[in-house]
Amino acid sequence: MAVLVIGEAPTDAIEAAGLLIRLCRPDADDPLPATLTGIDAVILSPTATPAALPLVGPALAAEVPVLALGDGARLLAEAAGTGGTCGGATDPLLGGGAAPHGFRVGASAWGLPVPAEADRELLRRFAELVAGRAETTATRAFFTPRAAAWEERFAYQTPAYETAVARMRLRPGQRALDLGCGSGRALPALRSLVGAAGTVIGVDLTHAMLAAAARAGHGGPGRLLLADCGRLPFPAGAVHGIFAAGLLDHLPHPGTALREWARVTAPGGELLLFHPSGRAERAARHGRAVSPQDPLAEPNLRPALEAAGWRLATYEDAPTHFLTRAER
């Protein structure tokens, strides 16, 4: 986990929280990183210059935590293009009167135009917040810059998604989720299975992906949800089917996710895991061998499903696709 510090800032509180510091000093002509990959947070110090702006906009879009101090706070406000809001009592960083002189932009950026000595406590809180969000931040930092082109780039795979969804036993009037729905490529096929009386909600952790889904016409009231698939805001047994493409093996804790998906699925409901290429083909494309630790390998997946409350009904790892169907 690394925090990019642009300019100079007291970093011991950040290091004490177990985060690595990556320094970028404009006066020393340090180049800015080209992307946010591997960066868990950005600190814009009082000595940051407008040269940092090309990274601040993408950080705001991907909700990578930003803490901006002194003149850095002015840069943050400039990048956001709007005024900030006051923290308020429930703000995770400024709440409880920790820094009444601070402001927040969006969900994950904070500015302190007049940093004070007491702000060392704030740095400690920031480090804690960054560590607690690191997995979410990594996902968003990776998928946000890819979101706008996702639908068009992979449009040729849509027929494979339709064929996969058709393997589900969902009936008209039922409720289903597309977890890690991305730009929502599977949503039309899922919605045609459950019909107008049914409900399909696309869930994703990356705001930009849901925005792409809405632009592609897959949105509408209550149809897209920004949430972590490991903590779903639904009661037990709320849905009849879950579709998840290209998701399980991206998750840091697949077993925990499978249990959460089982919790929200009614008895007799189903889970369909899909990828539009087989495991071997995908590994080769990424220049690596298929790992025996792969959570999608049958000897790993079958017991993980069973431990979570699923029964494996179909397992296909063909050159053209990966598809698993499990029943609750």
Ligand X SMILES: C[S@@+](CC[C@H](N)C(=O)[O-])C[C@H]1O[C@@H](n2cnc3c(N)ncnc32)[C@H](O)[C@@H]1O
Interacting residues with ligand X (CB under 6 A): 139, 143, 180-182, 185, 203-206, 209, 228-230, 245-247, 250-251
Q: Give the integer Cα–Cα distance in Å for 82 and 21.
A: 29
Beta bridge partners of 325: 272, 314
Closest approach of ligand X to the CB of residue 143, in Å: 4
For residues 104 and 282, which CB has a smaller minimum distance to ligand X in the complex? Answer: 282
User: Among 109, 133, 117, which residue's Cα sits nearest to residue 42?
Assistant: 109
Q: Give the integer Cα–Cα distance in Å for 86 and 285.
A: 47
Q: Give the integer Cα–Cα distance in Å for 240 and 227.
A: 19
Closest approach of ligand X to the CB of residue 14, in Å: 25
Query: For the sheet containing 85-86, what is the strand order?
Result: 20-24, 2-6, 41-44, 66-69, 109-112, 103-105, 85-86
For residues 30 and 162, which CB has a smaller minimum distance to ligand X in the complex? Answer: 162
For residues 77 and 229, which CB has a smaller minimum distance to ligand X in the complex? Answer: 229
For residues 109 and 244, which CB has a smaller minimum distance to ligand X in the complex? Answer: 244
Q: Of all residues in this chain, which one has the CB nearest to ligand X in the complex?
A: 182
Closest approach of ligand X to the CB of residue 151, in Å: 8
For residues 202 and 269, which CB has a smaller minimum distance to ligand X in the complex? Answer: 202
Neighbours of 30 (CB within 10 A): 14
Which amino acid belongs to residue 94?
L
Closest approach of ligand X to the CB of residue 10, in Å: 33
Closest approach of ligand X to the CB of residue 49, in Å: 32
Closest approach of ligand X to the CB of residue 158, in Å: 10
For residues 19 and 257, which CB has a smaller minimum distance to ligand X in the complex? Answer: 257
Q: Are 141 and 37 in contact (CB under 8 A)?
A: yes
Of the chain, the end-to-end C-alpha distance in Å amounts to 37
- Tokens describing residue 25: 């000093």
217 Cβ neighbours under 8 A, 6+ residues apart:
none
Closest approach of ligand X to the CB of residue 305, in Å: 18
* Angle at the Cα of 120 from the Cα atoms of 114 and 123, rounded to 5 degrees: 90
For residues 104 and 218, which CB has a smaller minimum distance to ligand X in the complex? Answer: 218
For residues 119 and 249, which CB has a smaller minimum distance to ligand X in the complex? Answer: 249
User: Among 11, 74, 86, which residue's Cα sits nearest to residue 47?
Assistant: 74
CA distances (Å), origin 238, targets 181, 235, 269: 18, 6, 10
Kind of pairing between the strands at 239-245 and 175-179: parallel
Closest approach of ligand X to the CB of residue 87, in Å: 27
Kind of pairing between the strands at 109-112 and 103-105: antiparallel
- Helix then strand count (H, E) for the chain reads 10, 14
